Chains A and B, each alone.
Chain A
Amino acid sequence: MTTFLTYIASGLAVGASFALIGSGFVVVHRVTNVVNFTQGTLTVLGGLISYSLLSMAIPHGLGEVAAVLIAAVAGLLVGLVTLSRPGTPAFVALLVTLGLSFLGTAIIILVWGQNPVSPPGIEGSIAFGSVSIESQRVLIVVVTLAVFGAMWLFFERTDLGRAMSAAASNQRAARLVGIDVRRMGLAAFAIAGALGGLAGVLLAPTLPLSVYSDLPLALSGFAAAVFGGLSSPGRTLIGAMVLGVSGQLVAGYINGSFQTQLALVMMLVVMIARHRSLTTEEAK
């Protein structure tokens, strides 16, 4: 039983980081209708930068925050390139982000090489009854829940958040009421960069990251985002948790190498189930 609960707990922590990555996809897609394939690269980048900053003896806290901010700037740069030509169809923009992701991969290999690195996180563990969980994993869950709460408040309760949603909902009307659609898109990319960076910063101490972590992380985050219809942060969180927990259970009881396949299967199931609603949404 303790083993089972441990799998559940670590699954929630892994799921939380998927949720952060997935919410990056959601924020960009919600505002610009673009699927941003640099999301995994930005996540790895966040983890690697925090590793470098912390190993340069920059104090804890400051190093992590700086890494998130740098990832946000990287996200903004991706947005600047992707949205540079007004009227670019979303699927073309998707390819642009894919290209930028390759570029990012090359840069990461040049700067950090190909070996996985792991910055120090919080030491120790916290006991919940018979289950003992690493403090870093608890931190991931707590921070993720806080970020999702903040995101909900931002999109539902602030006019800037509403304007970002409006830009996605109807670009023509957004322009007519004076919303700068491009600027909203850039803000979304920057937020996505910060979310990806945060996921990397939080995840790296428990899971060493390298350039090869990009694809599996992006896939898991994307699967969670697809679960949320690429537009709902709340459902993305649920999808990520389901994926994280089931991944840990599969790894624990069956085989660890099945985790990526699990994400793909989940995406497939969701896409078949949602096929009707997705196609009608696209028809609009």
Chain B
Amino acid sequence: MLHIRDLVVTYGAATALDGVSLDVEAGEMVALVGPNGAGKTTTLNAISGVVPTASGTIENGGRSAQVPEGRQLFADLSVDDNLRLGAWRMPRRDRNTERVYAVMPDLRPLRRQRAGLLSGGQQQMVAIGRALMARPDVLLIDELSLGLAPLIAARLIEHLREINRDEGTTILLVEQEVDLAFDLCSRAYVIEAGRVVAEGPTDVLRADPQLAAIYLGTAMTRSETP
């Protein structure tokens, strides 16, 4: 579905991605983890085509839609308008928001509310819903749980599982909470400083002492701040 080979992305003199290769097969759920500034968001932005690539290839066998970090909703617009605009590239008849409410019924009573007034978890649902409106084959999700209570994040993960199962949507998830990401995904790539440093099935990676070393620091500081 998604095949990336030797991808290099530079921002001026800085190299954000230094030869990243990764493969995501149709119907898979794959996690992309790594410390801050490793190049996770850049990878997603390159797939979405919003940052230019310096070299390498991105072969996308389907349509992708991104759930950006920090949700990035249209705060002044209603929930329903946010969702409709997710289908901006689609023909008019494919802009019916009902399909999102079917997947996430919690959004239905909020449809007329201004998106900026919703809670963080509700906003993240709208962001996922807006991406779903583009009928993506691949859903690119950037920092699903950031700023959300664990219970809310777990609920969103459940929605993603349903979306993957019921609609066959492939998911590439960037996530700081490694445990959360590994619970959902069967495979993962670990990137650091713009390079893939480890990859494989999540249950194998979970037991990897080297990976624990990379993450122990972040895990500890994170648990200190509630």
| Chain B hits for A169, CB < 8 A | 74-77
Say if the beta carbon of B15 comes within 8 Å of chain A: no
Is the CB–CB distance between A159 and B92 below 8 Å? yes
| Chain B hits for A175, CB < 8 A | 50
User: Main SS of the interface on chain B?
Assistant: loop
- A150-190 contacts to B, CB under 8 A, are 159, 162-163, 165-166, 168-170, 172-179
- A104 to B28: give the CA distance in the assembly, Å: 59
| Chain A hits for B7, CB < 8 A | none
Q: Which of B83-91, B146-154, B158-166, B179-187 sits within the interface?
A: B83-91
Q: Which of B54-62, B65-73, B192-200 sits within the interface?
A: B65-73
- A284 to B50: give the CA distance in the assembly, Å: 23
Interface residues on A, range: 10 to 19
Which of B48, B85, B134 lies in contact with A166, CB distance below 8 A? B85
Which of A159, A162, A168, A176 lies in contact with B68, CB distance below 8 A? A176
Say if the beta carbon of B81 comes within 8 Å of chain A: yes
Is the CB–CB distance between A177 and B130 below 8 Å? yes
A36 to chain B, nearest CB (A): 20
| Chain A hits for B95, CB < 8 A | 159
| Chain B hits for A178, CB < 8 A | 88-89
- A168 to B85: give the CA distance in the assembly, Å: 13
A159-B74 contact, Cβ under 8 Å, with A172-B68, A173-B68, A177-B134: no
- A169 to B75: give the CA distance in the assembly, Å: 6
B173 to chain A, nearest CB (A): 17
Is the CB–CB distance between B85 and A163 below 8 Å? yes
Is the CB–CB distance between B75 and A176 below 8 Å? no
**Nearest opposing residue in chain A for B71, CB measure:** A173
| Chain B hits for A179, CB < 8 A | 85, 88
Is the CB–CB distance between B50 and A176 below 8 Å? yes
- A163 to B95: give the CA distance in the assembly, Å: 13
B132 to chain A, nearest CB (A): 12
Cross-chain pair count, CB within 8 angstroms:
53
Which of B73, B84, B92 lies in contact with A162, CB distance below 8 A? B84
| Chain A hits for B85, CB < 8 A | 159, 162-163, 166, 174, 177, 179
- A170 to B130: give the CA distance in the assembly, Å: 14
- B131-173 contacts to A, CB under 8 A, are 134
| Chain B hits for A165, CB < 8 A | 74, 76-77, 81
- A165 to B73: give the CA distance in the assembly, Å: 12
| Chain B hits for A174, CB < 8 A | 74, 85
B180 to chain A, nearest CB (A): 23
Residue of B66, B72, B75 with most chain A CB atoms under a 10 A cut-off: B72
Is the CB–CB distance between B73 and A170 below 8 Å? yes
Residue of A168, A172, A178, A284 with most chain B CB atoms under a 10 A cut-off: A178
Residue of A172, A175, A177, A284 with most chain B CB atoms under a 10 A cut-off: A177
Which of B66, B73, B84 lies in contact with A159, CB distance below 8 A? B84
Residue of B75, B86, B88, B89 with most chain A CB atoms under a 10 A cut-off: B88
A194 to chain B, nearest CB (A): 24
A173-B50 contact, Cβ under 8 Å, with A159-B88, A159-B95, A162-B81: no
- A179 to B73: give the CA distance in the assembly, Å: 14
Is the CB–CB distance between B88 and A176 below 8 Å? no
Known: A172-B68, A174-B85. 14 other contacts (CB 8 A): A159-B84, A162-B77, A163-B88, A165-B76, A166-B77, A169-B74, A170-B72, A170-B73, A170-B74, A173-B68, A173-B74, A176-B66, A176-B68, A179-B85
Q: What are 28 A-B residue pairs whose CB atoms fall within 8 Å in the complex?
A: A159-B84, A159-B85, A159-B88, A159-B95, A162-B81, A162-B84, A162-B85, A163-B85, A163-B88, A165-B77, A166-B77, A169-B77, A170-B74, A170-B75, A172-B72, A173-B68, A173-B73, A173-B74, A174-B85, A176-B48, A176-B50, A176-B66, A176-B72, A177-B85, A177-B88, A178-B88, A178-B89, A284-B75
